[in-house]
Amino acid sequence: MRQYHDIKDEHEGAILLFRVGDFYETFADDAELVSEELGITLTKRNNGSDQTPLAGFPYHALDTYLPKLVKKGYRVAVCEQVENPKQAKKAGRKIVSREVTEITTPGVTMSEKLLEHKRNNYAAAIYWEGKKAGIGFADVSTGEFALSEVPKEQLGDLLQSITPAELLLPQNLKNNVPEYLLDYNMTFIEDWVYEGDYGYNLLTEHFETHSLKGFGVEDQEVAHVAAGALMHYIQETQKASLGHIKRLHKFENNEYMALDGSTKRNLELITSIQDDGNEGTLISILDETNTAMGGRMLRKWIMRPLKRMEPIRERLNAVEALNVNHEVRDKLRGELDQVGDLERLISRICVGRANPRDLVSLKESLAQVPRIKMQFNQLEESLLVDILERLKLLIEVQEKIENAIAEEPPTSVRDGDIFKDGYNEELDELRNVARNGKDFIADTRDELAAETGIDSLKIGYNKVYGYYIEVTNTHTDKVPEHFIRKQTLVNSERYITPELKEVEEKILSSEEQSKSLEYDLFEELRIEIAGYAEEVQQVAEALAELDCLQSFAEISYHNNYCKPAIADDQKIDITKGRHPVVEKTLPPGDPFIPNDIHLENEDEQILIITGPNMAGKSIILRQTGLIVLLAQIGCFVPADEAHIGLVDKIFTRVGASDNLAAGESTFLVEMNEAANILNNATRNSLILLDEVGRGTSTFDGLSIAWSLAEYLHNQPSVAAKTLFATHYHELNELENMYDHIVNYNVSVKEHDDKVIFLRKLVRGGADHSYGIQVADMAGLPTIVIERAKEILKNLESHSLDVTDSNGTLEEGAKKKKAAVKKAAQELEKQEQIDQMSLFQTQLDPHVEQLIDKIEACDPNRMTPIESLMLVSELKKLVDKTN
């Protein structure tokens, strides 16, 4: 227990899995936590005067239980026995030596059970100083390591583009974490790691350089601190060589289109709004990749659309070449399907966690490279040519593995039978002894029988004496003096000899020795192959890029996408555009209705889109954003034609949600999003507004929506291309007042008081929302629907006079408020008249006398008898009326 507590103190904050024989044990608080989280039995261990809580599981179940703990956000330290108990005993030590061999955390792991094949698993460290923020992020499983430096206010958006599984922060922030970081899985590390040149020196030491100039990041001093803290954390947790982290990559956030959190969420790029799953997302449609590396790169491309025209056009040209060459694309897909996860294979090899089958998989994957290159002899697109040049064959790596590893090796490096016969002479000798042990014993028996003249002499084996010589009592007089008696039986005696013990030692130890030798030989080969890590990573990157391009070509061909024209101008012109996800989820026989969109800063800059609920306004907005995004990641788009002027940012204000944990109402969340748009949009942005101002009173909301549209039109710095869907039909007045605002509506037809949705965007504004018809479709009671129609009829008889932004909006709002009040009063008056009319039709001329009687009484002063008498009189009057 002293040994346990010493190791536990060194790894504070981590669950310690302590290897004891064939079990991993946890003690005290760890045991109680593990018992609860894993649902395993909690027992107690007698520890002197204390009863220490104890919980454990068999060592072979580590891959089952460890991922469960890490997925719940825990850091887990695995403490192994690092020497054979027999050796410890021989050395006179009662306690076997133990060390933590790995610390697994949500962001730092090599476990296949914890990693998703097509998703990066990033750990990120952040640090800020003044107005600058630095970030370092890495995927240990692939060897990717990057840093970036941005203005502090952009840190949140940068983190959202990376989506780290674990976020590292200085200890001094533990009680003062900024709100936008609270959703991340946070780990706090010592403040001294962030001080001085510690981080910079750690980076130069790891990459074996005298500075970071060669990586182009020498001037990013705040980022050095963050990246150094990350490197410190990885080294502390992995306890192994990090030879696969070969390069320090500068992440240029300004190279990519800016997508804030709400835009990524509303456009459902990689996660669904409904359940955070994959279904109904853009990536679920685009991902036809055949490799894990390609799947991970595709996610990066979707989350980081390009902003520069040349690389976009290069991707589009490569996709076009693959799109029209169906035979080449089909063969390529087949070859890529045989490629393993090269990035993670070489990473496991470098950190010493590879098994023999990993090496075979590496060899077989590299063997696909020449077959892949053969498919591109006739394709001359520059990007494809560049990719093929980066696809090195690495024949020497394949040959080293081919000459060494057996065709079907075991998964464990401890089980033997890893290497081919003939690979190592000493191994061959040991194998020969182990495999032919029976022949050795038979030869020894024949030699002893000839020597003693005892033909019935036998050699047997048991666990107590090992190999022994058995002679029946009738021949004991022939036993030589050098035979050593070990056991007397009824009819025989058992003996051993020094020579027999030598044969026994040779046979019994040969298998153990051969396994030990194979382990050492495998380590030598692993280290040798690890020396090719950078070359393998370059091949993996090229294959991933090729995989993404063929995926784009595949989905573009099968979904009838077109190649967009990319230009450095202010125009977006889409002919018969479609929503890439919705069109694939519609039931058979229900075709998607395409729509045209024209946006241009000096012409139709803002489109006010009105129309009924459920008519498809939101889909038109989202499909426009997705088409622009698809074009700028280098993919064909769902349209007949598309001209896309480069967009620097896409903003969305869609839907209604609240943030109760932060004390933010639905309306405040909406206004936060609107403020973010107005404060960060540029003339080159695309803004998608789906209902602004709906979370407050009608007149407050209308005023805000009106003013916001004017601002986007009148302020040159933020006069972005905008689609503005709204139910405020009063905004249609803006078209008559401003040059660059145009009205559109999603058309419908009415038939028998029912609404038929045509899903077609047409010129002009709508004056109906058809909310009552939609409510009827939802199944509201008929009495509610009919009453709503009555109220609507009265309200619609009063109109709102609204002109421009010169002060009359408030007056118009007041007029409408007064009009609505007047309509309500008239409605109430009409109801009273109707009720009285109804009442009068049921009474004859005696009604006046009846009313007089009732008016004359005072219920508060009447006795019970008087009340009964009044009721009796009224009853008689009623009888007379009948």
Q: Would the annotation count 612 as a binding residue?
A: yes
Q: How many helices and strands in the chain, by DSSP H and E?
A: 30, 27
For 425-513, CATH number out of 3.10.20.520, 1.10.3720.10, 3.40.50.11720, 1.10.1420.10 equals: 1.10.1420.10
- Report the C-alpha gap between 635 and 318 in whole angstroms: 10
How many whole angstroms separate alpha carbon 805 and alpha carbon 705? Answer: 12
67 belongs to an annotated ligand binding site: no
CATH class of 565-779: alpha beta
The torsion angles phi and psi of 336, rounded to 5 degrees, stand at: -65, -30
Burial of 432 (0-12, 13-18, 19+ CB in 10 A): middle
> Across 513-656, where does the E strand assignment appear?
565-567, 571-577, 595-600, 606-610, 641-645, 649-654
Structure tokens at 581: 């996800």
From first CA to last CA, the distance across the chain in angstroms is: 101
Q: Please tell me whether 107 is known to bind a ligand.
A: no
In CATH, the number for domain 287-394+532-558 is 1.10.1420.10
Dihedral class, residue 294 (left if φ above 0, else alpha if ψ from -120 to 50, else beta): alpha
Fold of 123-255: Nucleotidyltransferase; domain 5 (3.30.420)
Whether 614 has a binding-site annotation, put simply, is yes
**Residue bearing tokens 């068999």:** 58
Whole-Å CA distances, 642 to 142, 577, 583, 765, 824: 37, 8, 18, 25, 50
Ligand-binding annotation for 859, yes or no, is no
Beta-strand ranges (E) seen in 571-685 are: 571-577, 595-600, 606-610, 641-645, 649-654
Report the distance separating Cα 877 and Cα 868, nearest Å. 14
Q: How confident is the model at residue 823, as a pLDDT?
A: 52
Architecture per CATH, 2-104: 3-Layer(aba) Sandwich (3.40)
d(CA 845, CA 880): 10
Query: Is 617 one of the annotated binding-site residues?
Result: yes
**Which residue intervals of 647-766 are DSSP H helices?**
666-680, 698-714
CA 321 to chain CA centroid, Å, is 31
Instruction: Give the pLDDT of residue 815.
Output: 55
Residue 613 assigned ligand-binding role: yes
Beta strand residue intervals within 229-325, DSSP E: 249-250, 258-259
Strands 458-462 and 565-567, bridge-based pairing: unpaired
Q: HSE of 690 in the Cβ direction (CA atoms, 13 Å)?
A: 23
Q: How far apart are CA 422 and CA 430, in angstroms?
A: 12
Q: What is the mean pLDDT of each run of 10 residues along the chain (882 residues)?
A: 87 89 89 90 75 88 88 89 73 81 88 87 93 93 92 87 91 88 90 92 92 89 94 88 88 85 88 79 94 95 94 96 92 94 93 92 95 82 90 94 92 86 89 80 88 91 86 91 90 90 81 87 94 94 96 96 95 95 87 92 91 81 96 97 95 66 65 86 93 76 87 91 88 89 84 69 76 74 78 63 45 52 54 47 59 73 72 74 62
Q: What is the pLDDT of residue 839?
A: 43
Alpha-carbon distance values, 663 to 179, 191, 658, 694 (Å): 12, 32, 9, 19
Residue 145 — φ and ψ, nearest 5°? -145, 125
- For the chain, the residue count is 882
254 is in an annotated binding site: no
Find the angle CA(25)-CA(26)-CA(32) to the nearest 5 degrees: 135
Please state, in angstroms and rounded to a whole number, the distance separating the CA atoms of residues 614 and 345. 49
Query: Residue 843's pLDDT is what?
Result: 47
3-state DSSP assignment of residue 810? helix
Q: What is the pLDDT of residue 648?
A: 93
Structure tokens that stand for 457 in this block: 């002499």
